[in-house]
Amino acid sequence: MRHHLPRRKLSGLLAAGAALIVAATAVAAGQSINLDLKGGYRNETKVACQQRNHYTAYHRGRILSMDGYVSPAPALPDGAWRVKIKVKRCRNGRFVEIWHGYARGNGVLLNGVKVGHFRKTFRMRTAGYFFARAYYYRAHPRIRSRAEHFHVTR
C-alpha cells in the first residue's frame, strides 16, 4: 500500500505546479482587451489572404459600430486614456492597414467590476475582406484584442 504514496505526492505536486503556472500567467497578463463589432446581416466562413476565418457581412456605405472593454479599467481619469483601433484590408494576398482611429475610454461597472469601456465607428466605403483590432499601449507589454473579421458587400 505504501508504494502508491509517492505517486499521489507526485501528482499533487504536478497539479500544484500547474495551478501556480496558470496563476502566474494570469498575473503577468494583467490586463485584457476585447473588441465587438455591432450589426451585420450574415455570418459566413470565407478564405481571404490565405486565411480561413469567420466573417460578419455588412453592406458598403454603412457605418460599422465597434465597442469593447479593457479589464481591469486603466488607473486614469475617464477620458484621459484611449484605445487605438486599426482596420486592415486584404490586398494582394495580405492584410494591410487602411485606417486607424482612437477611442477615448471611460470606466463602467460590469458585473460589479470596474472595466474600461470604449466606442468607435468606421464608415465602410469599399467592398472587401477586413479585420479590426483594438490596442491599448499604456500596458506593458501592450495588449491587443483578437482580430474581428468582417466582409463588406456591394
List pLDDT tens digits, range 67-119. Answer: 999 999 999 999 999 999 999 999 999 999 999 999 999 999 988 889 999 99
Q: What is the mean pLDDT of the chain?
A: 87
Q: Please state the rounded mean pLDDT for residues 57-76.
A: 96
pLDDT value, residue 95: 98
pLDDT at residue 64 is higher than 70: yes
Alpha carbon distance 59, 141 (integer Å): 36
Q: What is the pLDDT of residue 57?
A: 98
- What value does the CA radius of gyration of the chain take, rounded to a whole number of Å? 21
Count CB atoms within 10 A of the CB of residue 31. 17
User: Grid coordinates 492584410 are at which residue?
Assistant: 95
- In the DSSP assignment, the letter for residue 149 is E
Percent of the chain with pLDDT over 70: 81
When comparing pLDDT for 46 and 22, which is higher? 46
Q: Nearest to residue 69, comparing CAs of 38, 14, 31, 98?
A: 31
**69 and 34 Cβ atoms separated by less than 8 Å:** yes
